[in-house]
Amino acid sequence: MGQLDSRTYMYDYMVPGGGDWSVHRGGTIYLTNTRNVTITRCLFTQLGSNGVAVIDYNGATSITLSEFVWLPKSGIILVGSTNGIDGFSVASQPVDTLIQSNIFHETGIYIK
């Protein structure tokens, strides 16, 4: 379930759908194919990547009361898989996700 991710701002990025943006699908906590995961009252600081990455199918994930500071990317990312610009034929998306009462500051140092 958890995967430590080192500094990744020069790693490969993927384009999750038809658009002009890309994302590194990694994080200090990396969740994929999970249910009922709760992350609460955590401090994510100076990690070198995204804080929490919720990738593809994850059900009933809760991320609350945490602080995300001095991160080169995002505090939390939720990314599913698509078939190009068709976001409906692949049912591999985070569902029933609660992100509440978190504090984010000094994030996005290496990305916009």
pLDDT tens figures, 44-96:
999 888 999 999 999 999 999 999 999 988 999 998 887 766 666 766 889 99
pLDDT tens figures, 1-53:
334 444 555 556 666 666 666 677 889 999 999 999 999 999 999 988 899 99
What is the C-alpha separation between 80 and 57, in angstroms, rounded? 7
Whether the predicted model's global pTM rises above the 0.75 cut = yes
